[in-house]
């Protein structure tokens, strides 16, 4: 294996807001970038509707005067921490309404734009960047935020349109993405498992007050953790990226520090769910967790080489700890 075995491979991670890329699959992005792949983060919205969640910035003139501008700076720092490239897709943040999405979200926001229109800039990005692998969210958005749900629909539509030579030729030459994954790094079953392990060890769980919400989410959708990436050594890069979003993250916050520490000890991997596989390899068994350890397993390089069906990353050293716990 060469020093940069993933040189020539490209991963496009599509996210709804700035900071999502740092809390969902961030260590995986950092790992692939470090191993030679080009990793491009596409952020659908500017996060204009975000609140200031860090008490230290509540009195910051810049944060209160121009949160959109500040979030652009934060995003640049986060991408640098992950070793990734970044592009803004250009939609407007829909916010998180307390009631019905359809009646409370203003016109012109990302959630309101028809999928066939909202996908166009992403089709162009896919055709320009030519990723072999794309990551996005599942049909429930991972959690019920309108922009996350929309992110799923628009990404899947863009992947299909980008491969169609008859669709929008003005947006570039067609490009067929070989694999699409749903990011399940924040799956409810993951946090439920960590919570149960900590309680069994007689430790105070940082997830105790959230556990009923996790169980409700887990009952709404069965998350298939088909693929896990051993990336514990990149958790530092992940945390630096997340803290870069200072308007959104309180580094002294109990949940932030305790949850990250718990994950390092009890779950040092990040998970994805295979949604599209056009590699021609033997398909994975639906619903069985932890079958794969490389997002690029089975994909073709531009020069015709093929990543082995089992991938190039070694099996996770955490296999014995995690095997069967989330199946």
For residue 220, what are the CA distances in angstroms to 13, 153, 212, 228, 285?
A: 25, 18, 13, 22, 21
Residue 44: closest CA among 17, 21, 79: 17
For residue 142, what are the CA distances in angstroms to 56, 91, 148, 222, 248?
A: 29, 20, 7, 11, 19
- Residues 132-161, mean pLDDT to the nearest whole number: 96
DSSP state of 56: G
- Residues 199-210, mean pLDDT to the nearest whole number: 89
Confidence check: pLDDT of 251 > 70 = no
The verdict on residue 92 lying in a domain is: yes
Confirm or deny that 148 is annotated as ligand binding.
yes
More confident residue, 218 or 278: 278
- CATH number where 228 lies: 3.40.50.10320
For the segment 299-324, what is each residue's pLDDT rounded down to a tens digit?
Answer: 999 999 999 999 999 776 554 444 44
CA distance 230 to 96: 33
pLDDT band, residue 100 (cuts 50/70/90): confident
The verdict on residue 35 lying in a domain is: yes
Confirm or deny that 138 is annotated as ligand binding.
no
Share of residues in the chain with pLDDT > 70 (%): 88
DSSP reduced 3-state for 110: helix
Q: What is the residue range of 170's domain?
A: 10-186+224-253+271-321
Per the CB < 8 A criterion, the answer to whether 83 and 39 are in contact is yes
Share of residues in the chain with pLDDT > 90 (%): 68
The verdict on residue 201 lying in a domain is: no
CA distance 168 to 177: 16
The verdict on residue 202 lying in a domain is: no
Does the CA dihedral 256-261-265-269 come out positive or negative? positive
- Residues 196-216, mean pLDDT to the nearest whole number: 89
**Residue 1: what pLDDT?**
42
**Residue 180: what pLDDT?**
98
**Residue 81: what pLDDT?**
98
Calculate the average pLDDT of the chain. 89
Contact residues for 288 (Cβ-Cβ < 8 A; gap 6+): 226, 327
Confidence check: pLDDT of 15 > 90 = yes
Confidence check: pLDDT of 207 > 90 = no
**Residue 320: what pLDDT?**
46
The verdict on residue 264 lying in a domain is: no
Confidence check: pLDDT of 64 > 90 = no
Give residue 94's Cα distance to chain centre: 19
Confirm or deny that 91 is annotated as ligand binding.
no
Per the CB < 8 A criterion, the answer to whether 149 and 97 are in contact is no
DSSP secondary structure letters along 138-186: -TT-SSS-HHHHHHHHHHHHHHHHHH-TTS-GGG-S----SEEEEE-TT
More confident residue, 159 or 263: 159
The verdict on residue 230 lying in a domain is: yes
Confidence check: pLDDT of 325 > 90 = no
More confident residue, 2 or 291: 291
CA distance 157 to 174: 14
The verdict on residue 207 lying in a domain is: no
The domain total for the chain is 1
The verdict on residue 193 lying in a domain is: no
Confidence check: pLDDT of 145 > 50 = yes
Q: Supply 281's token pair.
A: 């390899």
């Amino acid at each position: 294996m060469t020093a940069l075995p993933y040189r020539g491979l490209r991963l496009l991670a599509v996210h709804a807001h700035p900071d999502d890329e740092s809390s969902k699959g961030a260590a995986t992005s950092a790992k692939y970038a470090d191993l030679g792949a080009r990793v491009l983060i596409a952020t659908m919205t500017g996060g204009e509707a975000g609140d200031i969640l860090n008490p230290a910035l509540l009195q910051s003139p810049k944060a209160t005067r121009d949160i959109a501008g500040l979030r652009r700076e934060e995003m640049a720092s986060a991408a640098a921490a992950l070793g990734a490239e970044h592009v803004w897709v250009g939609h407007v943040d829909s916010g998180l309404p307390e009631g019905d999405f359809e009646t409370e979200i203003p016109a012109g926001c990302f959630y309101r734009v028809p999928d066939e229109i909202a996908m166009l800039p992403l089709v162009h990005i896919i055709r320009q960047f030519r990723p072999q692998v794309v990551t996005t969210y599942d049909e429930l958005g991972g959690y019920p935020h309108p922009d996350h749900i929309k992110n799923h629909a628009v990404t899947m539509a863009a992947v299909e349109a980008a491969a169609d030579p008859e669709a929008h030729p003005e947006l570039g030459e067609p490009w067929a993405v070989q694999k699409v994954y749903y990011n399940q790094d924040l799956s409810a079953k993951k946090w439920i498992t960590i919570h149960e392990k900590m309680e069994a060890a007689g430790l105070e769980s940082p997830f105790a007050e959230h556990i009923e919400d996790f169980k409700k989410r887990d009952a709404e959708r069965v998350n298939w953790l088909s693929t896990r990436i051993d990336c514990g050594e990149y958790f530092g890069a992940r945390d630096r990226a997340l803290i870069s979003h200072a308007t959104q993250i309180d580094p002294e916050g109990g949940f932030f520090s305790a949850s990250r520490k718990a994950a390092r000890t009890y779950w040092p991997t990040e998970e994805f769910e295979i949604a599209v596989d056009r590699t021609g390899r033997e398909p994975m068994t639906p619903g069985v967790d932890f079958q794969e350890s490389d997002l690029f397993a089975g994909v073709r390089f531009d020069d015709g080489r093929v990543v082995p069906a089992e991938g190039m990353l070694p099996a996770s050293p955490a296999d014995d700890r995690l095997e069967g716990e989330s199946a």
